[in-house]
Amino acid sequence: MNNADTQECKEVIVAPLAAGREVLGLAVVICCIFLLAGLRHVQVAPKEDVTAKISYQIKDVRLKNQAPVLYRSLLGAVDSITWTYEAGGNWPEISELQTESLPPFVGDFLPAGLRGFSWEMHQGETWVDYYGSNKEVAQEEKQGADPLENSFILRIIDLRAGKYPYPYIQGAQEDRFTAQIWMNPQIVDYSEGPLVERGWKWVVSGNSAVNGKVRESTGS
């Protein structure tokens, strides 16, 4: 009796099925999910900002301290300068801009930290450069103050004139003029020739109409 019971209740150990197939299936599903997520990311990711990738450019949001104020002020002066140019045929001198009370050429319209800038005008064939440097702040920096962006150039190019300085924007042709703001963290004197080679950075706005295609070749 006991033997019969033992035979009936014999313990049978069933080995589990090999999980290889399930694991493979799961791995495939996970891979698919990642693949779809990657595709979606590529689909919705913002387009690369070509202009900001170029080595000699800097985004305006990276400007420090009061430099954004000066940058903004220079951009605000562009139209007044071009209107004067269109009316008179000549690029206005600094004294003319000061008479017109145009910031940043008149320091009274800027916060105290930016009033040390002195400005010069340099005229090219089809463009004009308004160069400003803040030598007062540079002196303070030597004594341990925070470093600032100390030299700026406002370059305005007449696109109808035909021969442009390097680099310039291609694709902003609906306007007669295009403006560029260049910044140098050091105090550097103005000199002729491409700004790129002398350590100047072209300040571009992430939201700017200036974000056309930068022409890498040709120029003066």
Partner 1 sequence: MKKMLRPQLMLVFCLVFFSTQAYAQETKCRLNIGASLHPYYSWVKNIVGDEANVTSIIPPGSDPHAYQPVPSDMQKLENLDAVIINGVGHDEFIKPMLKAIENDKLVVIDTSKGLPLIPVFGKHYAFDEKDGKVSYNSHTYIAITGAIQQMQMIARKLGRLCPDQAGVFVKNVRAYSMKLRNMLQSALMRIDMLDLNNLRIATVHDGYSYLFQELGIEVSAVVQPRHGVKPSARQLQDTIKRIKRAKVNVLFGELDYEKKYVDIIYKETGCRLYALSHISNGEYTKEFFEQAMQRNIDAIIAALTEVSRGSNPGDMSGQMQDNMSRQMQNASQQMQNSVQENLKDSVPTMQQKQMNERMNQQVQDTTKQMQKTVQEKLKDSIPTMQQKQMNERMNQQLRDTKAQMQGAMQEGLKETMPEMQQQQMKGRMNQQVQDMQKGVLDNVAPGAPQQQGKGQ
Q: Could you tell me if 169 and 150 are in contact, meaning their C-beta atoms sit under 8 angstroms apart?
A: no
Judge residue 126's burial from the number of C-beta atoms within 10 Å of its C-beta, 0-12 exposed, 13-18 middle, 19 or more buried. middle
Question: Under the criterion CB under 8 A, does residue 208 sit at the interface with partner 1?
Answer: yes
- Name the strands in the sheet holding 201-204, side by side, starting at the edge strand that comes first in the sequence: 57-59, 201-204, 177-184, 151-158, 127-134, 117-123
Question: Under the criterion CB under 8 A, does residue 38 sit at the interface with partner 1?
Answer: no
Nearer to partner 1, 128 or 210 (CB): 210
> Smallest distance from the beta carbon of 49 to partner 1, in angstroms?
6
Q: How does 33-62 read in b/e, with b if 16+ C-beta sit within 10 Å?
A: eeeeeeeeeeeeeeeeeebbeeeebbebee
Q: Which stretch binds partner 1 (CB under 8 A): 14-22, 23-31, 48-56, 188-196?
A: 48-56
* Cα diameter, the chain: 124
Question: Under the criterion CB under 8 A, does residue 101 sit at the interface with partner 1?
Answer: yes
User: What is the total count of residues that contact partner 1 (CB under 8 A)?
Assistant: 35
> Smallest distance from the beta carbon of 139 to partner 1, in angstroms?
20
Nearer to partner 1, 78 or 94 (CB): 78
3-state class percentages of the chain: helix first, strand second, coil last, to nearest 5: 40, 20, 40
Binding mask 126-155 for partner 1 (x = CB under 8 A): ------------------------------
Cα 138 to Cα 161: distance, rounded to the nearest angstrom: 37
Question: Under the criterion CB under 8 A, does residue 103 sit at the interface with partner 1?
Answer: yes
Question: Under the criterion CB under 8 A, does residue 108 sit at the interface with partner 1?
Answer: yes
Question: Under the criterion CB under 8 A, does residue 37 sit at the interface with partner 1?
Answer: no
Footprint on this chain of partner 1 (rule: CB under 8 A): 45-46, 48-49, 52, 60-61, 66, 68-69, 71-73, 75-76, 78-80, 83, 101, 103, 108-114, 175, 205-210
